[in-house]
Structure 1
Amino acid sequence: MAAKVKTVKIDGEEVYIFNHAIYIFESSRGYSLELGMIVSEIVEQKYKKEENLIVEIELEDGQEIQAIMHRGGVAGRLPQLQLYCELDDISEYTDIMHVHENEAVFPDIEEGISIEDIRKVEMPDVKVKLTATLPIDQAEWLKSLKKGQLNTFLTEVIYEYWKKERED
């Protein structure tokens, strides 16, 4: 039975994980502990430029792993973090799956998850600039709104129109 991750904290902050794979990767250079996680777009953006992270991993069996982990490159359709750290001694990681560099079988952590599922949990906000030609009274009214009011108004109007378009 392969180990399952219960919680992950990065720099002391717990991260919501949609799916994960934790394994020992064995190569001709040695061993590394690898943790691949599907996370929200917000979490991916927050940590994508960081090179070294303090990571606390709690496994479902109660085992805790604390390490300074490095961010690896990942190519996928869903937001994810791939973290790793070199290991000298793997004897304490008996329940964690081992993958050898000559084996081309890696766990597919994206299977069964969609970007829509992720956005139901944590929807990122993106700054958008719009240019529109409107009657002057509408333009004046929009300009009179505070930023929060304008954001709420546009979000509600767009969602209403968007829902109608999707139903057609």
Structure 2
Amino acid sequence: MSIRNAQIAVAIAAIVVIIAMLSMCARKPAENKRAELGNTAYEVAVTFTPAATAAMKTLGQGATVEGFFYGAPVEAARDKVDDDGHIPAGMDQVDIAANTQTVKMPGSGIDPDVMAHIAGGKPSLMVRVYSSTTAGTPNQLDCTTFNGTLAAAQTAPVAIACDIR
């Protein structure tokens, strides 16, 4: 093999390796949709009354912060609605100790594939907090809820107040 042919073979091999490496780095469609959503994280400021904190400590229980993403359907997706007439779009759940704190919710539970079925492509968000109970044990907390847009939830921490039932 001549030097010229060897140089061509090395160049071709290098190009093949570069193309293979770039194809491994390429985003998959789901990752592209996630990136198009942008930041979906939000914060929840959970306050517990002293009685709620004490009762939960006595019971050995924490709390769960849950964010449920949903939206009004576009006309073509009316057959995909839940019992409330919404398109479910995913959920975030974070377990916490039952004391006053601000919880960073990742927003990663939102399903980017569902956004095409939601009017305007902008999700709404319902946030609730309940006791992290063992099977068969009822919720011990009485907490307020948030029901609004994700955009509104991102402007300031969502305020949720909890007391014991």
TM-score (norm 1): 0.26
Larger Rg: 2
Higher relative contact order (CA 8 A, sep 6+): 2
In proportion to residue count, which structure has more helix? 2
